[in-house]
Amino acid sequence: MTTEVVSVFGNLLPGLATNMRETSKQPREMDRETENAPNKRPKAARRGQRGGRRQIADENLNSVVTLLANLSLQQEDALNRLRLDTSFTFHLQQQGPGTILLPLFKAGQEWQQKQKKGENVPPMRIVALGLLLKEVAARVQLMVGDPTAVENAMKHQWLDQQKRFVYQEWNSATKQVEPSATAKSLKVEEATELINQVAELCLPDLVTRFCAQRRPKQEPQEGDKAVFLIEVAMRDPRANILHQKLRQLANCAVWNVVGAQLQPPNQQRHGLAMALQKALENI
C-alpha cells in the first residue's frame, strides 16, 4: 500500500519517494550478488543435507503408515460393531460323511451354466442358502424317523435326554464343542419350524450376502472347515424377523445334521487385523 501511495503522491512527497526508491534497490542488489556468488558450500555438507532430507522423508513415511494402520483398525472395529446387527458365520465341514459343501459347489456350477444360457435364475447366494436350509430340514425329518439315528444323535450330544436339540459352546479347556450348561434346548418341531421360516425369508432383498470368506482348501485335512458369511439387510421389517430367527438358531446343534455350525458375530478382530495390531505394537 505504501508503494502505491508513493507512486500516486510522489510528486507531492519527494523526500519519501527518494527513500523508497533507494530502499527498494537494496534487496534486488543483494539478490544479484547472491546469484552471482559461487557455491562455496563443501560437498560433504551438501551430501549431509541430502541425507537429512532423506531421513526426514523416511520419518514422515513411517508416520503416515502408522496413521493409516491405526485408521484401518478403527474402521475394522466399526465394521465389527455393525456386523452385530447384520451378519452370521457358517462353518461347514469340508470332509466327512454328510458334508454339504460338495453339493453346494455342484449347485454353483449348475447355476453358472443356467446363467450362461440366459435362464432367469435367482442370485447364487439365494440358491445356495436355500438348498442348505432345505437339506437341513429334510435330514432332521429323516433322523427323527430313524430310532438308530436318534440314539446316535444323543450319543454325540446333539440331542438331550428329552430328544431336544441342544445349544453348543466352545470349551477352551477341552478344545472342543460341548452342550451349553445355560441355554435351554430346542424341541425338534421348533427347530424345524425355524428352519422353514428362515427358508421362506431367504429373498434377494433380505439376504445381501452368502459366500465363502476365503477359498476352501483343494486338499482339505480332517477337521478343516470352510467359513461362509451370511449378511442380512437392515431397515426392512422382514429382515428384522429373519435376523431374530437366525439368532434363535445360532449355536444350535440342528446344523450338525449337515456338518455345519452357525455362529453369531462378535467384536473380535480377524486375523489380518490382529497381525496389523501386533506389528504396530512392535514399532
Q: Among 32-46, 58-72, 222-236, which stretch is predicted with the lowest mean pLDDT?
A: 32-46
Average pLDDT, the chain: 79
Better-predicted residue by pLDDT, 32 or 215: 215
**Residues 116/107, Cβ–Cβ less than 8 Å:** no
pLDDT tens digits for range 92-119? 988 777 788 888 888 989 999 999 998 8
pLDDT tens digits for range 56-87? 666 677 777 777 777 777 777 666 676 667 78
Q: What distance in Å separates the CA atoms of residue 126 and residue 138, rounded to the nearest whole number? A: 18
Q: What distance in Å separates the CA atoms of residue 55 and residue 69, rounded to the nearest whole number? A: 21
> How do the domains of the chain map onto residue ranges?
2-36, 87-265
Q: Which pLDDT does position 32 carry in this prediction? A: 54
b/e map 39-56, b = 16+ CB within 10 Å: eeeeeeeeeeeeeeeeee
Using the Cα atoms of residue 74, residue 92, residue 143 and residue 172 in order, give the sign of their dihedral.
negative
**Residues 94/101, Cβ–Cβ less than 8 Å:** yes
